[in-house]
Amino acid sequence: MRCNNARTGAHPVHRRRARSRCGYPCSAACRMREKPMATHFSDGLSLVLKALSISRAQLASAIDVDKSLVSRWCSGRITPSETNLARLTHHIAGYLPGFKMLDWDAPLEQLAARFGVEYGPLQRGRPGLSDWVQAPILREAAANVLAHGASYEGFWRTTRPSSEAPGQFIHEHVLLRVTPDGMLSFRLAIMDIRYAGWSMPLQNKLFSIATDETTGTFVFGIFDGVMRQPAELVDGLIMTVMRDAAGTPIASKCLLE
């Protein structure tokens, strides 16, 4: 039956780490002590990094923080603590003398002007499906979402073999939802990883792709399509990479229920 619970996916092979109220593992939350996200800051930081041609990894190394933390700042999930904001501002001031912490609160147009770049509607736009899926395919997917999207909407649980512990299985939790623009969003959660992306029903198959901004990893899924109302059990394949040092690619059969 369809899973109606909204709980975070659990990994039976590993112990679940204690989580703080902010949703991150307690050890990381206590170490970082970050504040809630602010989209304005994330847009400003992304603009500054592009204007100065600084990568996230370079910034993380320069101010002595983890790269995943910089990724969270840029994605808008969290903002820096006062200590990290001061270190970040001091580093940027090395490129632009006189740059202060208050400058992060300035309108993005003014911030861009300080670094000698333009900021307008084109820079605000973020890439979407139309940037990498051909228009005829996108139209077909949208038509199928209109006709059958409601069959897939809801919370689901995956079951697939564990690549780290042979003979055991793991579960992830998936949320499929029809978006206001007529597409099907795809979110997958397991432990502290959160993938976000899209699903496209095409040729009686459900093609899914999603990324985790913190780790930069992808997950791909191909599931059998279901025409009846509502879908309760589908099978297919999931492809991703392991969390080992080499990022070993894996593909496994998967049951979605």
Q: How does residue 128 score in pLDDT terms, banded at 50, 70 and 90?
A: low
Assigned CATH for 26-124: 1.10.260.40
CA distance 56 to 70: 6
pLDDT of residue 162: 84
How far apart (Å, rounded) are the C-alpha atoms in residues 192 and 11? 10
Question: Which has more pLDDT, 226 or 105?
Answer: 105
Position 135 scores a pLDDT of: 80
Point out the least confidently predicted range of 119-133, 147-161, 238-252.
119-133
Tens digits of per-residue pLDDT, 177-200? Answer: 998 878 899 999 988 888 999 999
Quick one: pLDDT at residue 39?
Answer: 58
pLDDT recorded at residue 11: 41
> From the centroid of its chain, how far is CA 27?
21
Same fold flag, 26-124 and 129-256? no
pLDDT on residue 230: 72
Alpha-carbon span 64 to 196, nearest angstrom: 28
129 has a pLDDT exceeding 80: no
More confident residue, 31 or 183: 183
Rounded mean pLDDT of 58-74? 88
C-alpha distances (whole Å) from 158 to each of 2, 9, 162, 174 are: 11, 9, 12, 7
CA angle, 159 then 164 then 166, to 5°: 70
- Third-level CATH fold of 129-256: Lipocalin (2.40.128)
Question: Does position 127 have pLDDT exceeding 60, yes or no?
Answer: no
User: What span, in angstroms and rounded, lies between the C-alpha atoms of 125 and 223?
Assistant: 31
Structure tokens that stand for 111 in this block: 């911030």
Tell me which of 110 and 231 has the higher pLDDT.
110
**183: its two tokens:** 């597409």
Rounded to whole angstroms, how far apart are CA atoms 156 and 167? 23
Strand partners, 250: 240
Token pair listed for 50? 């592009």
Distance, CA of 138 to chain centre: 21
Cα–Cα dist 251/226, whole Å: 22
Helix (H) or strand (E) segment spanning residue 190? strand 184-190
Average confidence (pLDDT) over 105-132? 71
Contacts of 50 (CB under 8 A, 6+ apart): 117
Run of H or E residues at 74 = helix 67-75
Nearest to 257 by CA among 11, 6, 1: 1
State phi, psi for 26 to the nearest 5 degrees.
-55, -40
**Would you kindly state where each structural domain of the chain is located, as residue ranges?**
26-124, 129-256
pLDDT value at residue 231: 74
| pLDDT band per the 50, 70, 90 thresholds, residue 23 | very low
Q: Assess contact for 198 and 210: CB atoms under 8 A.
A: yes
Confidence of residue 82 (pLDDT cuts 50, 70, 90): very high
Distances (CA, A) of 57 to 50, 104, 180, 210: 13, 21, 35, 22
- Cβ neighbour number for residue 66 with a 10 Å cutoff: 13
Q: pLDDT digits over 202-215, tens only?
A: 988 999 999 888 77
Express as a percent the part of the chain with pLDDT over 90. 28
Residue 95 has pLDDT above 90, yes or no: yes
Q: Which tokens in the block code for residue 44? A: 């400003």
Which residue has tokens 């703080």? Answer: 20
**For all residues of the chain together, what is the average pLDDT?**
78
**Of 19-28, 37-46, 177-186, minimum mean pLDDT range:** 19-28
